[in-house]
Amino acid sequence: MEYVELGKTGFKVSVIGLGTWQIGTKLWGWGTDYNESDAIATVQQAIDLGVNFIDTAEIYGGGKSEEVIGKAISGRRDEVFLATKVWLTNLSYDKVIKAAERSLRRLNVDVIDLYQVHWPNPFVPIEQTMKAMERLVKEGKVRCIGVSNFSVNGLKRAQEALSSEEIASNQVEYNLLNRKIERDLLPYARREKITIIAYSPLAKGILTGKYAPGNVPKDLLRRADILFSSENLKRANKILEVLHEIAERRGKNVSQVALNWLIKEPTVLAIPGAKKPMHVKVNVGAVGWKLTEEEIKKIDEVSNSFKPERLKSYISIPFRLLRFW
């Protein structure tokens, strides 16, 4: 495993982490095949393979994800850099404090290594949220402060609201089908030494090569995503062709090439999800080798040319959902 410093904190985290939004999501009726035994085995396999960055959130499975992770890391707390997130409805001062205490109980730990604001809430002053975050750090309940889904302006405001701490990271969607952060957020993060935690690094599975026109996902979450339209899967196939070519030549698979492309950037770590131990083994195979400049150029050319079909109007969303049934 390879490790990078999280922001300017001095803490070293694995460049491939473990995203756990799927743990417990069966409770939400998304149609996933979540299994608690598999989830615990997956987390423990990740730790065995050197993955120390495990990311969860209070909203995942209504708290179930945190509970399962707490069980999985029991007796191995020192091997894990544990990150969780506070939901946007809990960002007022008192609610942040209470939410953190609930997360600590569910995770069965004394301290959260990285506590993140899951989404910005324009109806709650960021000063309230950051003041509560700093209190948690001073009380020893949180080690580092992060945010998620924040723009450059949002990052600046969050940092300005802190008096003694610094923003360590910003967790955002980043993959070969969505490179929007390269316009301004990634350059800003580089300059300020803020780590980008890339969620959905495999575009919900599209960049594994699993899906194609005529082979659409069964679960509601993906069916509702415009990226999984037949047209977009067809357009994404051009990227997959290049990834397949490189993967075959390098003795890797498509997802490993896509993840390696992400972590070539020192400011970025990726948190692919995994439901079974074998999935973690595949993800970790993205580490320990590097794409050549020629391979990167080839991937960049085809990726930059990807222009997804957009929803013509929000009224089409219910009709897309109906396809699931």
CA atoms within 13 A on the CB side of 34: 21
**Which one is catalytic: 60, 174, 188, 199?**
60
Catalytic, 93? Answer no
10 Å Cβ neighbour count for 122?
A: 8
Residue 27 · residue 36 · CB < 8 Å: no
Instruction: Name the residue among 78, 152, 90 with its Cα closest to residue 118.
Output: 90
Distance CA 272, CA 21 (A): 10
Q: Strands 12-14 and 3-5: what pairing?
A: antiparallel
Residue 105 · residue 98 · CB < 8 Å: no
Distance CA 211, CA 225 (A): 13
Distance CA 102, CA 139 (A): 15
10 Å Cβ neighbour count for 149?
A: 17
As annotated, the active-site residues are 60
